[in-house]
Amino acid sequence: MKGLIKEAEDFLDEVKDDDVKNAGMIAEAQRVEHYEISGYGTAVRYAKELGHDAIAKKLQKTLDEEYNADKKLNDLAEKRLNDKAK
């Protein structure tokens, strides 16, 4: 996660155009969401494998929230920010 944050900071230092910055930050935020999806997805699987169904259910709820956040970021990029950045 520290590496992803560093990557985003480096991006912001390199880019001057605000529209390109906005589009790029959406991409950086999606990288974070994908990292979280990977982690929570694994945790859900492990909880199920170990028979911890209540924990798996709670983790699944968080995983679903991460997917939803990624979808919202994707919609934002597709509908508005990427066009401005062109």
Alpha carbon distance 64, 10 (integer Å): 30
Contact segment (CB under 5 A) with Fe ion among 28-36, 40-48, 51-59, 72-80 equals 28-36
Distance of closest approach, residue 58 Cβ to Fe ion, in angstroms: 15
Find the binder of Fe ion among 26, 28, 30, 36 (CB under 5 A).
36
Residue in 47, 45, 43 with CA at minimum distance from that of residue 35: 43
Choose between 28 and 33: whose C-beta lies nearer to Fe ion: 33
Residue 30 CB contacts under 8 Å (≥ 6 apart), including other chains:
70, 73, 74, 77
Residue 28 engages Fe ion in binding (rule: CB under 5 A): no
